[in-house]
Structure 1
Amino acid sequence: MVPISSIAQETSVPDVPEITAVTGSSSAAQGLPAAEAALINQRSQEALEAAREVSLHTNATSIAQFQDQINEAVERATGGRVWDPEAPREPSPRTSWGDPDLSGYWLAVSYVPMERPDELAGKPLFTREEAVEAFARGVFSDASVDPATVHYDWKEWGMGSWQSPMIPNLRTSMIVDPPDGKRPAFTPEGQARYQAQARVATLESRSLLERCITGNQGPPRIPSIRNYGESQIVQTQGHVVLMTQVNSEIRIIPLDDRPHAPDNIRPWLGASRGYWDGDTLVVETTNFNESVWWTRNRGTSPDVNVTERYTRIDDGLLLYEVTLEDPQTWELPWSYEMVWPKMDPPGLFEFACHEMNYGLINVMRGAKARAAENVDR
């Protein structure tokens, strides 16, 4: 195992770019033709350098400020629990009416990449020592995020992923099927849809989260470097309610065997129906609104079928499993999983966001300035 001090020395250096470990994506221009990708990456680098010039802080000063907390997070991981997907599980606790009890506050947070890195091909699981080392690298990289490169410097508010109850994970990728830990290939239709969406840049095509219409917390839930997914689950005898802090969204999931919504009903978050399979809550979501473009699953058609499985592992851990099926987009269904640590009260806070804030207006101003320079693509 690489000494923790060596990892700290490798990562806590000035001007480390924002990490992408939690998304598994290394480029904002992924999937585009080479010329377009190069232009986007060039502009991203220009914006990064400009932000650093005016920033009041560097990641070097930030690391110095939080060094003790960083060391504590790594020490807890070194001597604490590591998630082993093959370990035996205890029966889930029960509600007063007998259903598995999933209630509480949970965090959708992980340093495990969505797709398995090429250098780990054929290795679905780490050893415990390797998992702790990977976690430590994630902690130092996360804490080293250059404050000039992000909308908020989360660690200033105690909201960095490494400041949460997250634990190391033996998995080398969140994707468990296909077995190689990679998303399946796009169909020709899915590839064309992906590239068409990636090229579009209009007022109407901006992210719905950017416009504060809907959040970025699914379904399905995917960890984000910006919002690591604070959630609350509330149960009744006939419904399960899933609430997220981001955009204060609420999913009310009936458990009464009612049929799926008719095809012309297309809510922002799709239409969900749930049922119990032993200790596991199974939620099937269909009827997605075609205006919802998933940040990390571009190209998906509104007819995708998302199946989520929620299982209480113990008092402090919830297993979240997802399968996505969309023959219009991918050649095969694919599945991923992550574990959610429990979060102590007070739980969720207000997410004060409203459409047409300054961000969207300034994006359009910047686009017009680019067009005036005759460099708009």
Structure 2
Amino acid sequence: MRNRFFISFGAVSLVMAAIVWASVLVVAQAPSSASAKLAASVWDPTAPPPSGWTAPRTSWGDPDLQGFWLVLSYTPLERPAALAGKPLYTTEEAVDAFKKAVALDAEVDPTTIHYDWKEYGMDAWQSPVRPNRRTSLIVDPPDGRIPPRTPEAQKRRALGCCGVGGTDVQSVGWYTRCLLGVEAAPRVPGGVTTESQIVQIPGYVMWVQESNNDVRIIPLDGRPHLPSNVRQYLGDARGHWEGNTLVVETTNFTDETKWQGSTAGMRLVERFTLADPKTLKYEFTVTDPATWTKPWTMEAPLPRIDPPLYEFACHEQNYGVINVVKGAQIRAAEGIGLSGRAPDYTTGDGK
């Protein structure tokens, strides 16, 4: 019986050599396989819907957008100057740009930057963010850049309308004070609190943001907007369906909203379309003649994520706002202003 299990040394050597060669092949092929998988996941805004796929409907017949979505992207909002005139990458270029952005993001040092991306599941290996053929999230104007600001908007920006405007806690932005989310509406992909959820019932759609638990309730029954003298931080939203796309118009913002430096007169139109089972195409156009010289539009693919949304416990150990105010007070005491340059103490006289 022992002879049946006897293998010569030569046979063992042959088997070991085969195993080693197979391992080399696997190692050699692994990067290629990973690259191929990444290339297959590239978001291509020019591609048709998946073959044989039909967008789902709710039990009452509306397009079903429900689920959890990550408002995050490695694609810059504005097109870099080096890519002027190039609205789309090739698939290979999109993968290369994605890899470079991921590598740059991974260089964040949690000892010098407050946030560690892994704490939020935002490392590239932790999230389903896809490479994008677009070279910028802005699709209009065609140059992929935010239009110039009006003279009035430039003055507001110079006065610090959107940052720290004084030396007490109330002068700090509402998000830093844990009162409202990082952005009101619309949402530009990015940041550390990017998870969201869409819930639907007959006649309404609700978009919940993890960031400070902001909630937007969107009626679909054709009711008119609120009177112009009724203002809300998140605006007054009204929605309707155009085929499989949810179109939401939001007006009646407040003077405190200041989205990207906007005024209360900003008009926002958003479009939500389920592009495939795992991707929600999110588009918006903002119009505010008092802020920008013309409207501009952004488009981003939002990947589906697993539930749930976690509690946004912003107030717990919120040392950031204390440090911001202390810094502003120190600058004021030094007489250099909130946005001035700190004195050069290397000269010995503080000048």
Q: TM-score, normalised by structure 2?
A: 0.80
Partner of 1:349: 310
Of 316, 325, 341 in structure 1, the residue corresponding to residue 278 of structure 2 is 316
Partner of 1:141: 104
Residues 271 and 163 of structure 1: CA distance in aligned 2, closer, same or farther (over 3 Å) = same
> Which residues in structure 2 correspond to 1:161-240 (within 5 Å)?
163-196=126-159, 197=161, 201-202=165-166, 203=168, 204-227=170-193, 229-240=194-205
Structure 2 distance, partners of 1:73, 1:273, is 46
Partner of 1:130: 93
Residue ranges of structure 2 left out of the alignment (5+ in a row): 1-30, 341-351
Do the aligned partners of 1:143 and 1:155 also contact (CA within 8 Å) in 2? no
Do the aligned partners of 2:218 and 2:238 also contact (CA within 8 Å) in 1? yes
Aligned Cα root-mean-square deviation (Å): 2.2
Do the aligned partners of 1:211 and 1:356 also contact (CA within 8 Å) in 2? no
Of 115, 120, 127 in structure 1, the residue corresponding to residue 78 of structure 2 is 115
Per-residue displacement from partner, 1:180-238 (whole Å, max 9, x unpaired)? 111111122222222222685223332111111110143101122333x1011010111
Structure 2 distance, partners of 1:302, 1:72, is 51
Q: Secondary structure at the match of 1:146?
A: coil
Q: Which range moves more in the overlay, 182-191 or 147-156?
A: 147-156
Code of the aligned partner of 1:85: P
Q: Secondary structure at the match of 2:240?
A: strand
Code of the aligned partner of 1:313: A
CA shift for structure 1 position 150: 2.2
Residues 166 and 210 of structure 1: CA distance in aligned 2, closer, same or farther (over 3 Å) = same
Code of the aligned partner of 1:238: G
Residues 309 and 263 of structure 1: CA distance in aligned 2, closer, same or farther (over 3 Å) = same
Per-residue displacement from partner, 1:245-268 (whole Å, max 9, x unpaired)? 111111111001111011222222
Do the aligned partners of 1:317 and 1:340 also contact (CA within 8 Å) in 2? yes
Q: Secondary structure at the match of 1:147?
A: coil
Percent identity of the aligned residues?
A: 52
Structure 2 distance, partners of 1:301, 1:158, is 34
Do the aligned partners of 2:236 and 2:252 also contact (CA within 8 Å) in 1? yes
CA shift for structure 1 position 91: 4.3
Code of the aligned partner of 2:269: T
Q: How many residues align?
A: 302
Partner of 2:323: 362
> Which residues in structure 2 correspond to 1:278-297 (within 5 Å)?
278-294=243-259, 297=260
CA shift for structure 1 position 273: 0.8
Bigger radius of gyration, 1 or 2? 2
CA shift for structure 1 position 358: 3.5
Q: Secondary structure at the match of 2:139?
A: strand
Residues 209 and 344 of structure 1: CA distance in aligned 2, closer, same or farther (over 3 Å) = same
Residue ranges of structure 1 left out of the alignment (5+ in a row): 1-70
Residues 107 and 157 of structure 1: CA distance in aligned 2, closer, same or farther (over 3 Å) = closer
Greater than 6 Å deviation, 4+ residue runs: 71-74
Q: Say whether residues 1:81 and 2:44 are aligned partners.
A: no
Q: Secondary structure at the match of 1:223?
A: coil
CA shift for structure 1 position 331: 1.2
Structure 1 distance, partners of 2:184, 2:36, is 30
Structure 2 distance, partners of 1:247, 1:161, is 24
Do the aligned partners of 1:143 and 1:162 also contact (CA within 8 Å) in 2? no
Structure 2 distance, partners of 1:265, 1:248, is 23
> Which residues in structure 2 correspond to 1:297-316 (within 5 Å)?
297-298=260-261, 300-316=262-278
Code of the aligned partner of 2:46: E
